[in-house]
Structure 1
């Protein structure tokens, strides 16, 4: 199978708030907007896409029309400490997991979007201990 794109679509009860969250805090630009769907793209050397969809829209099959639950989005950045200052210290976003370094090779913190979707802001670091050998392509 040849993939031409792959991106998450968050089913939400809070379309406008979610749109503002990803545009304001993470630099996503709107590529399509309707009252039931917003398509977002973050340009750059590694472009990223994200969709936001009203969870009651008929394009979602019956039985699946519910808001998102249990989703974690990873956002890798060159300097997680700078993003901590921007998003949390200066921006006032509520922290779900404080900034910390993990033995498995991440320095990160977690915030939540208006839907409760967790956004894990990460800078990869060198793993330590037992995790060093667990990486396949180092």
Structure 2
């Protein structure tokens, strides 16, 4: 098997709201869109995103009413502090402020209008005891 790309498909209540959030604040561009559907991508190594309206007939019956809850969409970035500053300056609500874990992970979170949690991570040397 050779994987040539990765895509996460998120079922949300308001496709347009999530699409606007990801294109405005996270540098995604629309690749395709229709009623209840949007395909988003970036030029770098970030995962592509497909947004599907909850209840859409394209989904199997047992998946139509599910929501993208419990999912954390995580991006590893090169300067997590600067990314947090940029998003704050853009008016994005930081739902988990920047913190550093003892194992060397720096991270913070934002949440899109449909409740999709987006986490930004930067790895550093772990703190010494």
Flag whether TM exceeds 0.5 (same fold). Answer: yes
CA shift for structure 1 position 129 = 5.1
Give the structure 2 partner of residue 53 of structure 1.
52
CA distance in 2, matches of 1:77, 1:5: 19
CA distance in 1, matches of 2:115, 2:46: 24
Give the structure 1 partner of residue 108 of structure 2.
109
Give the structure 2 partner of residue 6 of structure 1.
6
CA distance in 2, matches of 1:85, 1:2: 37
CA shift for structure 1 position 16 = 0.5
Uncovered stretches (5+) of structure 1, i.e. residues with no partner:
131-138
**Between Structure 1 and Structure 2, how many residues are aligned?**
128
CA shift for structure 1 position 6 = 2.3
CA shift for structure 1 position 95 = 2.0
Q: TM-score, normalised by structure 1?
A: 0.85
Give the structure 1 partner of residue 23 of structure 2.
23
Residues 60-69 or 28-37, more deviating: 60-69
Please report the RMSD computed on the Cα atoms of aligned residues, expressed in angstroms.
Answer: 1.6
Is the 8 Å Cα contact of residues 22 and 28 (structure 2) preserved in structure 1? yes
CA distance in 2, matches of 1:60, 1:93: 31
**Larger Rg computed on CA atoms:** 1
CA distance in 1, matches of 2:115, 2:56: 20
SS in 1 for 2:121: strand
Q: TM-score, normalised by structure 2?
A: 0.90
SS in 2 for 1:8: strand
Q: Decide which structure has greater helix share.
A: 1
Uncovered stretches (5+) of structure 2, i.e. residues with no partner:
none
Cα 1:108/1:47, change in 2 over 3 Å: closer
CA distance in 2, matches of 1:112, 1:4: 28
